[in-house]
Structure 1
Amino acid sequence: MNEPTPYGRPVAHETAAVHVRTPAPLAPAHTAPLVPVQPGTIPAVASVVLPDGRVVTGYAIEPAKPEPVAVKPTASRAAVNIALGGIGFGAVCGGLVLLTTFLAALAAFIHQLIILAAVVFGGWIAVQVFSASGHGGGTTVNIRKAVIKRNTFYG
């Protein structure tokens, strides 16, 4: 008598009365007035037959189209940047070689100018020192008439 049912309740408690209620019909809805529509804008009506034989008719709804996926580049941005940097460095290396060559030539030219200035300025100084025309003052000693006795000069 108190054996459990498939739902886990004892059989003795199933004496409650079952009440069946029928739903009340709904009042008919007011239909909206028909609006004239251009012939090209009426969507197509589709009918689907269900497995149990019922036919469902309605307007066909276009499925949502997914947004197009952005195409990924075949190479990563880092790889492209590294490659472009290498190309730029390769293009600049020729200019750097020319720049160092130019600086070496400029240094050699300045060195030659310094040597030339030293030679010219040194020659000018030598001419000034050894020229007789620029010597205007002082004592002139005629050595031919001087007499030197016992390391003493008498002039």
Structure 2
Amino acid sequence: MFPKNTGHRHAEQAVTIHQPTPLAPYPAAPIVPVQPAGVPAVTSIVLPDGRVITGYAIDPGQPEPVTAKPVVSRAAVNIALGGIGFGAVCGGLVLLTTFIAALAALVQQLIILAAVIFGGWIAVQVLTTCRGRGATTVNIRKAVIKRNHFHG
């Protein structure tokens, strides 16, 4: 495209056109038949009736080894183990509460035993003290109270 005429005189520039230069043909490399690593070789088989069959020899694929499935699923085993653990904990808690109840009963029996022994000791002390020192005998007579007046 030519520039617009803006009213000024411009020196005209020479336009150079470049033609592409064709490249020399690249020499073709000799083609050597190479068997790719993943593709088996072509083989031919002659049948008993004389026909020839040509094709790829494919090794039969080895089936994947069958992994033995467990008889019981892992989830079931985990649930069972959790139940056994819970049962063991509950049994321990039952034993703990039984132990606490037995300990409380033992403490109660010890308190009662101490009260009986201490009460007996006090009774023995009181009774032996009164008789040993020449006790005073008090005869209690029948008192008659008549009209708020004591007659003794």
Q: What TM-score do the two structures reach when normalised by structure 1?
A: 0.38
